[in-house]
Structure 1
Amino acid sequence: MEIKKGMSVLELIQEMGGSGVLGAGRVYRATELLAEVIKDEDTAVFLSVAGPLVPGGLRKIIRNMIKDGEVDVLITSGANITHDLLEAFGGRHHRGIEEDDETMCEHGMGRIADLYTKSEDFEVFETEIAKILADIAAKDDHLSIREFLTLIGSSLDDDESILKTAADNNVPIYAPGFIDSMLGLQLWMFTQDTKLHIDASGDMAELSDIVYDSKKVATMILGGGLPKHYALASNLLKGGVDAAIQITMDRSETGSLGGAPLEEAKSWAKAKAGSKLVTVVGDATIIFPLILAGAKEMNQRSME
């Protein structure tokens, strides 16, 4: 590889493309595949987001992809939804606080690696989400998870919010495990005195319709876990996805889903025979912005 003064992101990635099957070469192949799927109008793009990627800095990137029509379905964890709402309600994710964890707990702070949240932000979150839940319950007391998240997004006043942008652009958000989050805890507490019911299986028919109505499906998988499996398994009845990119830090030896190579999905008919698959091992907060910037530049150049 050669580094030149003033080179663009794409030019750097193209230099990486000559390094074979090592990490740099995988970054190039992932960039090429991402550029292909986001410009293909016949391909529905499922973005799967696990881990704390909203506090990790990807909130605006995901929001802009939704606004720009580069994502057709978002599948994510309850944690990312909660942290999106935390910022939508005026809270922040903080850096640069150097205290031990026991002292942070005493001061009302929670730590995510080198990021921190404050209890006062979650107090505002609890107050605001309780108002939204009450408004939702007054209109409808039986909803699917997707319907529930769409209604929350429609009630927000933050144009930078992932939930609001998705609701405004009719992009469905699926979060099958969202109950395992602060939002899920607040929902459980709210339902103790109300008839509001969230149907965990209610999304399956709608998601299956999206799969069957799409000529092709590509998944962009950031991390692993439940969002990854939901994105792949939803395509099982149609023989699997046509293309997939996975960015993960997990290893394959333990048999974990997060570390499973995408080729393994072919044995389950979650990825089609002949599907285009690229796995990049690394931190999604570093690699995904890089390949997305490269893919956008690649598509822009192809139009010039």
Structure 2
Amino acid sequence: MKKEAAEELRSVVFKESESLEGASPKIQGYDFNNRLNVSDLLQSLGLTGFQASHFDDAIQIVNQMLEWRLSHEEITENCSELEKNPTYRESVKCKIFLGVTSNLISSGVRDIIRYLVEHRMVDVVVTAGDGIAEDIIKCLADTYLGDCSLPGAALRSKGLSRIGNLLVPDDNYRKFEDWAMPLFDQMLEEQNTQHVLWTPSKVAARLGKEINDERSYLYWAYKNDIPIFCSGFTEMGSFRKLLSLHSFRNPDIHDLVVLPSEDSKLLENEVMHANPRKIGMITLGGGLPQIQICDTLRMHNGADYAVFINAAHEFDGSDSGASPEEAVSWGAIRASAKFIKVHCDATVAFPFLVAKTFAATIEKTIESKIKEVTKKAKVVENLRSSVYKESQRLEDTAKVRGYDFNLGVNYSQILKSLFFTGFQATNLGDAIETVNQMLEWRLSHEEITEDCSEEEKNPTYRESVRCKIFLGFTSNLISSGVRDVIRYLVQHSMVDVIVTTTGGIEEDIIKCLADTYRGDFSLPGAALRSKGLNRIGNLLVPNANYCKFEDWVIPIFDKMLEEQKTQHVLWTPSKLIARLGKEINNESSYLYWAYKNGIPVFCPGLTDGSLGDMLYFQSFRSPGLIVDVVKDIEAMNGQAVHANPSKTGMIILGGGLAKHHICNANMMRNGADYAVFINTAQEFDGSDSGAHPDEAKSWGKIRASAKSVKVHCDATIAFPLLVAETFAAMKEND
């Protein structure tokens, strides 16, 4: 009866699956055992899953924009004689609209935008007011790297303004004011004497002409006649302040008038007169630029290609977080269009997208020539001083800059440039630096103290003692292609302790027995359920996979039960996991390599997930198997407590149970010495998943003196890049 009940339960939980063989790509990650090639690594992201797959989709869509020609389309009856001409048809390319928020111009992404405009790779640029001002300001003075946690009141007292983890001295805005005011005077005179009608795009072009600096994207836009639109030009940011100051300085004459409404017509003309070209849009960061491009493209019945890159959520109904599907419903993107949203900070994703698309079309190296133009004039000092306090000097602080694609595509240098780019790119750069410090540390780097044992004073021993690395990850990453990256680390004994959730165990075994496939986040659950398919984000797992897992694991549970009864074996989660690694005997499995290399894998929530289901089914067939969790907490905490004289480092992908378990164990030794968190969870709800490393310091989970960083990014994008510049680079250099 119990066996029949177990079969009935199985049929309820696991419906018969529709086959995905040949219908969907199989999920797999980059194999770092091959010679490290970041270009190939980026190519592999399409089969990794989650946002990594979206990033690869974005690369493909942008390349389709760049490759499209009118000659690819059929000649219709409506075509003019010119449009039938083969030479003309081959010359007609996709018209690309680029939208970028001002914070990205403050960051090192500005250098990449400049590269695109310099080489006429985009046709229209839309930004916010400070997306124009910050470009000019960065020609006049430097922006510096800071930290997101720096307190605002303290910075204000020092005359420093913070944009995320960037610092901008108020002196920079004074220099901008000194430079811009004489230009506004000239423009006002031209308005009054020559009846010039100023629009934001005309002002942007004039600024580009006057700055005359090859580092400026506005300069190249002026030189290459690429229009820059900004509907919020006079409503926010630095220009609003400057125009207000300008009107105070000239109270007896008419104000300088800038008319955004005229630009709306010009932007509409850019769309209406695009035919017979297709239209593509790339928007970075959402907000006003994305809104303005989308609203205008409705005049064209929508874009033919669309790539959104931002970290905003769609759940609050904001336009910034809106998915391309929502834009399709409004007619901003055609129903037949190729489109994707990459949920990632553009400072991380955009440099690599450009490397695989725009920059791949240019092979020559161009030397940059830099000129600086600074002009000064007197203004109303009392107003100026209230807005811009005198700044503390930051000369010893790292300056913000981006990768220069004029130097060619060098992936190692692109990765190194992330540190200076700002926002999450800088955090990823910090994470790379922190992991490399973990890998490079030896006990010999520390001073010999009085309480050192004789062994700990031995130079050979001291050189052999390395940092003990705890690796934690959530189960979804094993479902994804990141599993292959983790397997590489375990295969080469690059980590010492692993903590994961139950899904992180079972999915590794299941992927040795059957494939996981690429799907889509929007596939409806009810329809998938009727086909026996389970969705994990944009991955698909047939129910048949779990049935194969059950058929494989139940006989092992039977053997374990017998050994418990006859040999008095005390099973713990880590012992059970090691047994599964031994039994699977498959080199694609990280559990196999953990067993082979003696690396413990801990899972305090072993009864959750499919493995829990199997233990439940087992209790019907052959009850009595006992798994002691308490013994494992002793073993796990012991890994941290007895790590001395080693330092300890934590690398945690995702949050939840794995993150908390590692942090809690390290609390037993007064905290880890290094910590890298990579996840997209927010800290505002008080969850442990979203908690910042600084919060962990308050608990003693990370030492106050520790090097720690959180990268707010999907680990499917960030972790392969981090491994390429740390573990894999170290192995190649050995």
Which TM-score band (shorter chain)?
over 0.9
Match of 1:283 in 2: 714
Q: State the Cα distance separating 1:228 from its structure 2 match.
A: 0.2
Greater displacement, 198-207 / 228-237: 198-207
1:144-293 aligned at under 5 Å gives the runs: 144-192=572-620, 193-214=622-643, 215-293=646-724
User: Does the C-alpha gap of structure 1 residues 82 and 297 become closer, same or farther in structure 2, counting only changes over 3 Å?
Assistant: closer
Match of 1:31 in 2: 432
Q: Are the equivalent residues in 2 in contact too, given 1:39–1:299 (CA < 8 A)?
A: no
Q: State the Cα distance separating 1:173 from its structure 2 match.
A: 0.3
Q: For structure 1, which runs of at least 5 residues remain unmatched after alignment? A: none
Match of 1:17 in 2: 419
Q: Supply the distance in 2 between the matched residues of 1:83 and 1:205 (Cα, whole angstroms).
A: 26
Match of 1:43 in 2: 467
Q: Supply the distance in 2 between the matched residues of 1:82 and 1:47 (Cα, whole angstroms).
A: 18
Match of 1:131 in 2: 555
**Number of residue pairs the alignment of both structures matches:** 300
Q: Supply the distance in 2 between the matched residues of 1:297 and 1:118 (Cα, whole angstroms).
A: 33
Task: String of CA shifts for 1:125-172, please: whole Å, max 9, x gaps.
Answer: 111010111122222353111111111111112111111111011000
Question: Larger Rg: 1 or 2?
Answer: 2
Paired residue type of 1:26: N
Q: Supply the distance in 2 between the matched residues of 1:239 and 1:265 (Cα, whole angstroms).
A: 11
Q: Supply the distance in 1 between the matched residues of 2:408 and 2:506 (Cα, whole angstroms).
A: 41
Q: Are the equivalent residues in 1 in contact too, given 2:682–2:691 (CA < 8 A)?
A: yes
Instruction: State the TM-score, normalizing by the size of structure 1.
Output: 0.93
Secondary structure of the residue aligned to 2:685 is coil
Paired residue type of 1:166: A
Match of 1:94 in 2: 517
Q: State the Cα distance separating 1:61 from its structure 2 match.
A: 0.7
Paired residue type of 1:13: L
Secondary structure of the residue aligned to 2:693 is coil
Q: State the Cα distance separating 1:206 from its structure 2 match.
A: 1.6
Q: State the Cα distance separating 1:38 from its structure 2 match.
A: 2.8
Q: Are the equivalent residues in 2 in contact too, given 1:223–1:284 (CA < 8 A)?
A: yes
The percent identity for this pair of structures is: 26
Q: Supply the distance in 2 between the matched residues of 1:156 and 1:297 (Cα, whole angstroms).
A: 26
User: Does the C-alpha gap of structure 1 residues 84 and 217 become closer, same or farther in structure 2, counting only changes over 3 Å?
Assistant: same
Secondary structure of the residue aligned to 1:53 is helix
Q: State the Cα distance separating 1:19 from its structure 2 match.
A: 2.6
User: Does the C-alpha gap of structure 1 residues 256 and 282 become closer, same or farther in structure 2, counting only changes over 3 Å?
Assistant: same
Q: For structure 2, which runs of at least 5 residues remain unmatched after alignment? A: 1-401, 442-464
Q: Are the equivalent residues in 1 in contact too, given 2:475–2:505 (CA < 8 A)?
A: no
User: Does the C-alpha gap of structure 1 residues 19 and 100 become closer, same or farther in structure 2, counting only changes over 3 Å?
Assistant: closer
Q: Supply the distance in 1 between the matched residues of 2:681 and 2:500 (Cα, whole angstroms).
A: 18
Q: CA RMSD in A?
A: 1.8
Q: Are the equivalent residues in 2 in contact too, given 1:191–1:197 (CA < 8 A)?
A: no
Q: Are the equivalent residues in 2 in contact too, given 1:18–1:25 (CA < 8 A)?
A: yes
Greater displacement, 138-147 / 153-162: 138-147
Q: State the Cα distance separating 1:29 from its structure 2 match.
A: 0.9
User: Does the C-alpha gap of structure 1 residues 189 and 39 become closer, same or farther in structure 2, counting only changes over 3 Å?
Assistant: farther
User: Does the C-alpha gap of structure 1 residues 196 and 222 become closer, same or farther in structure 2, counting only changes over 3 Å?
Assistant: same
Q: Supply the distance in 1 between the matched residues of 2:696 and 2:668 (Cα, whole angstroms).
A: 13
Q: Supply the distance in 2 between the matched residues of 1:37 and 1:158 (Cα, whole angstroms).
A: 29
Q: State the Cα distance separating 1:213 from its structure 2 match.
A: 2.5
Q: Which runs of 4+ in 1 moved over 6 A?
A: none
Paired residue type of 1:235: N
Task: String of CA shifts for 1:77-110, please: whole Å, max 9, x gaps.
Answer: 111211111112x211112479532121111111
Secondary structure of the residue aligned to 1:143 is coil
Match of 1:5 in 2: 408
Paired residue type of 1:23: Q
Secondary structure of the residue aligned to 1:263 is helix
Instruction: State the TM-score, normalizing by the size of structure 2.
Output: 0.40
Q: Supply the distance in 2 between the matched residues of 1:230 and 1:145 (Cα, whole angstroms).
A: 14
Q: Are the equivalent residues in 2 in contact too, given 1:142–1:196 (CA < 8 A)?
A: no
Q: Supply the distance in 1 between the matched residues of 2:560 and 2:608 (Cα, whole angstroms).
A: 20
